[in-house]
Structure formats: C-alpha cells, structure tokens
C-alpha cells in the first residue's frame, strides 16, 4: 500500500484523487476478516473482496491494458472473475455465485490492488488525456462501490443471528429533533436540469435540458423515524389502499411490516447498523425503505413523491458537498441536518420518476457505454446521496437508480404535493 501513500502526496491532482479514493476503499475494509470479505449474502449484494478486486479490474482493463504498452495482467484469470456486467468485455463469473470465490484470498486481492496502483502511478505521467478521463471515471466508479461495499456489509452482518458490528463500540452521538417539516413552494415553469459544464458527470446525467414544472411544494427535510412509526401504528402496512398494486403484493409475499433492519424488542424499536443493533433514533431520517414503502407513506400522508426535476430544481442552490456524507471509515448512519433545508447526504431520496433517458441522451461508445443506459427500465431515480456516499461524489444532477422493492441502500423519502 505504499504506492497509495506515495500518490496521495503527488503534485498531480488527478493522481492525488486516485490515491485518496483507493485509500478510502482499503480503510473501509480494514475491520474485515477474510471470511467477512468473501461471503455474499444475497444476489443483489457482492462480497467486499469482489468490490476491492472489481474496481481494480476497471483500472487494469481500461487504463493499463488498453493504454500502457507491455503491461502484463497481474493474473490472467482475474478478468473472468471480476468483470461485472460489461458484456463487451466477454464472459464472466455469474453474479449470484460471487460468494464462492474463497480464493484469491483477501490478502491476494490486496496485492492485486497494490500492483495496479503502482503500475498506474508509474504510467500516469505518460498517459494520454483519453486515459486520464477514464481514470476519473474509474475513481467515480470506485466511489460508487464504496457505498455498495458499506451497504453490502451491513446486509451480510445482519444475516448473522449473533449480529456482529462491523465497527463495534462506537460512541453514539445524540440526535436532536429536526423540528416540524416545512414546505418550499414553486410556482411552476421551465427549469434547466441535468449536467453541463466541465466537471465530471456520468453520461446519464445529460444532456442538460429544459423541463416544465407544475406548481408544487416540496418538503424542507426528509421523513423521520418518529413519523414513520406513526405510519406503522396507524396500520400503514396493513391497509392496501395506500399501496401500489406491485407494492402491496411485495408486502404480502415478504411479510413486510417495517423498514429493513428494524426489529421491536421488548416493546422498543431497534435498528441494525454498521455499529450493531441499537435503539432507533426517533429524530433521525427513516432509512432502508423501498420505493413502495416511500410511495405508500406519501399516500398515507396526503402527499406524493417529488419528481426528479422538482427535486433538482429545489436542490440546485445547495452545496452538494455539505451534509452528512462519507469522509472516513466508520459506522455511518443518517442524522438530521442541524440548520436549514438539506438536500444532500443522510439518505438517498426516492423520486416518483422512472429512470429513463434524458432528451438527446446517447450512451458512451465502447464497454464503458454499458455503464448506465442499459439499466433504464423498471427502476426509479433517487437523488441527493447518503451518509455512505463519499463526499465529493454526488451532484444535484446525479441520478442514482434502484428497483422499487430494493431497500438495502440508505434510502429515505421527502414529501411533495401539488399546489
């Protein structure tokens, strides 16, 4: 890992960024045993070791293999094991069996990382701009995997009946009640959304374009655990009238009666987190809810979910680098903003917008073009980032997306209503 320590002091800001991202990934996996890093708890999740290796495979493949003459793969077998979904890159290990890979070991995967880090640091000065652009993409790609790594670990540890904590023994910061929810009104009219300009963005965030808003109001904060408990106590999970048809089927088939990781013990609601099982904070934003739950809650509360464009219009004046986001390894969790309306961090906010292409969108050429566009059916957009999103990764135009039943991410909900 000395390669990484060296590049963090480089004069090349791209290399420093690369080093910082790579170092954070390793810090996040520091508490893990070889077994913790290997097991896959469900098909949606991946082992930590796989995240470590796959993000490395990205740099090795698209930069070292494609742009550094004479580069020899660290291990010829790794592309098959650690490609994820790039059909253009050939055959790959089936997703649901990623947890079978007890070898290479965690230590060997760390060596793979060190090897690629060193090779990339060496190659950096001579790389063409096209490769540097791919490094930037690779860093953002790795940041996405940092968040998945945390949420996948949380899920894995929750599957163990003894409920170990990834980071045990953390002191609990008291959470203050954020005050009553207020409304931010908007008269409607054309707004511009989507990405434009020099900064990095994924292809699906553009082109920047006009959208027509209708008069509406959007809440100045997300829904809290206390408010969610009222929904439960009012029979929210037992009343089909609040639910989308698919959502109600999901509730029935899976026996859903509370957010993921909640459990009532001796009459007290608890939640499982990266610091183990603890009592629920009523004042904290509710998290680990599906789109179906978010939509049912909004229906029960007499509102609706904001659209992606409404959310982005409201958030655009705020600093995306503010709020409760991931700065260092540790048991992150949502907590209420201290002052003023907050749109970034804490929880990803479900919108009512299906994840579909913007007008004029075209996927990038080549394998990296499989990054976003091909997922544009069946999923909903989430905005704003979460406590597990690396600070600096998210933007107002950022489009996260998940299926409506998924809830192992730090997902939450902000209300909107028509005016």
Q: Which of 318, 238, 289, 270 minimizes the C-alpha distance to 410? A: 289
Measured CA to CA, the distance from residue 341 to residue 281 in angstroms comes to 20
* Shortest spacing between CB 127 and a copy of itself, in angstroms: 27
Written as six digits, the tokens of 120 are: 């990339």
Binding mask 325-354 for a copy of itself (x = CB under 8 A): ---------------------------xxx
Site string for a copy of itself, 204-223 (x = CB under 8 A): -----xxxx-x-x-------
- Least separation in angstroms between residue 196's CB and a copy of itself is 15
In Å, what is the CA distance from 153 to each residue of 41, 46, 48?
9, 9, 7
Whichever of 173 and 212 has its CB closer to a copy of itself, that residue is 212
Candidate residues 164, 179, 182, 279; the one interacting with a copy of itself per rule CB under 8 A: 164
Q: What is the rounded distance in angstroms from the CA atom of residue 372 to the CA atom of residue 398?
A: 12
| Segment near a copy of itself (CB under 8 A); pick from 143-151, 287-295, 318-326, 394-402 | 287-295
Residue 179, both tokens:
């005050």
Q: How far is the CB of 237 from a copy of itself (least distance, A)?
A: 14
Give the one residue of 102, 130, 254, 257 binding a copy of itself; rule: CB under 8 A.
Answer: 102
Q: Is residue 244 part of the contact set for a copy of itself (CB under 8 A)?
A: yes
Considering the rule CB under 8 A, would residue 318 count as an interface residue with a copy of itself? no
Residue 364 interacts with a copy of itself (CB under 8 A): yes or no: no
Q: Measuring CA to CA, which residue among 358, 362, 363, 357 is closest to residue 88?
A: 363
Q: Which of 79, 206, 247, 336 binds a copy of itself (CB under 8 A)?
A: 247
Under the criterion CB under 8 A, does residue 241 sit at the interface with a copy of itself?
A: yes
- How many other C-beta atoms lie within 10 A of the C-beta of residue 383? 26
Choose among 333, 339, 348: nearest CA to 414.
348
Window 10-69: residues binding a copy of itself (CB under 8 A): 33-39, 41
Residues sharing a CB contact under 8 Å with residue 260, sequence separation 6 or more, in sequence order: 288, 289, 407, 408
Which of these segments, 5-13, 18-26, 95-103, 229-237, binds a copy of itself (CB under 8 A)? 95-103
Binding mask 182-201 for a copy of itself (x = CB under 8 A): --------x-----------
Is the Cβ–Cβ distance between 326 and 337 less than 8 Å? no
Tell me the C-alpha distance between 303 and 196, whole Å: 32
Omega before 191 cis (within 30°)?
no
Q: Tell whether the torsion through CA atoms of 267, 269, 272 and 273 is positive or negative.
A: negative
Give residues in contact with a copy of itself (CB under 8 A).
33-39, 41, 77, 80-81, 85, 87-88, 93, 97, 99-106, 156-157, 159-162, 164, 190, 209-212, 214, 216, 240-241, 243-248, 291-292, 295, 304, 352-354, 356-357, 359-360, 374-378, 380, 404, 418
């Amino acid at each position: 890992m000395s390669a990484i320590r060296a590049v963090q002091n480089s004069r090349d800001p791209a290399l420093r960024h690369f080093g910082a991202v790579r170092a954070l990934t390793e810090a996040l996996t520091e508490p893990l045993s070889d077994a913790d890093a290997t097991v896959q708890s469900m098909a949606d999740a991946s082992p930590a070791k796989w995240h470590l290796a796959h993000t490395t495979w990205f740099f090795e493949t698209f930069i070292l293999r494609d742009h550094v003459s004479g580069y020899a793969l660290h291990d010829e077998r790794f592309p098959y094991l650690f490609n994820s979904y790039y059909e253009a890159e050939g055959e790959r290990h089936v997703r649901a069996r990623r947890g079978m890979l007890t070898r290479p070991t965690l230590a060997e995967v760390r060596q793979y990382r060190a090897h690629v880090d060193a090779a990339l640091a060496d190659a950096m000065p001579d790389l063409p701009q096209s490769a540097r652009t791919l490094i930037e993409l690779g860093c953002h790609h790795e940041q996405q995997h940092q968040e998945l790594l945390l949420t996948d670990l949380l899920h894995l540890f929750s599957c163990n009946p003894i409920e170990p904590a990834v980071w045990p023994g953390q002191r609990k910061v008291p959470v203050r009640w954020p005050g009553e929810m207020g409304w931010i009104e908007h008269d409607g009219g054309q707004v511009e959304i989507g990405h434009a300009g020099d900064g990095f963005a994924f292809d699906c965030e553009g082109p920047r374009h006009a959208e027509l808003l209708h008069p509406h109001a959007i809440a100045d904060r997300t829904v809290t655990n206390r408010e969610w408990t009222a929904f439960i106590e009012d029979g929210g999970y037992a009343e089909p009238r609040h639910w989308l048809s698919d959502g109600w089927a999901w509730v029935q088939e899976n026996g859903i009666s509370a957010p993921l990781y909640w459990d009532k013990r001796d009459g007290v609601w608890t939640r499982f987190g990266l610091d183990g099982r603890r009592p629920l904070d009523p004042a904290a934003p509710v998290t680990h809810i599906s789109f179906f739950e978010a939509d049912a809650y909004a229906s029960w509360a007499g509102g609706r979910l904001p659209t992606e464009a409404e959310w982005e219009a409201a958030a655009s004046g705020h600093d995306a680098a503010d709020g409760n986001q991931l700065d260092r390894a540790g048991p992150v969790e949502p907590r209420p903003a201290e002052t003023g309306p907050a749109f970034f961090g804490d929880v990803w906010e479900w919108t009512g917008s299906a994840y579909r292409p913007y007008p004029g969108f075209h996927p990038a050429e080549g394998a990296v073009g499989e990054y976003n566009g091909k997922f544009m059916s069946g999923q909903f957009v989430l905005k704003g980032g979460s406590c597990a999103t690396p600070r600096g990764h998210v933007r107002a135009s950022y489009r996260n997306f998940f299926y409506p039943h998924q809830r192992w991410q730090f997902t939450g909900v902000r209300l909107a209503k028509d005016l």
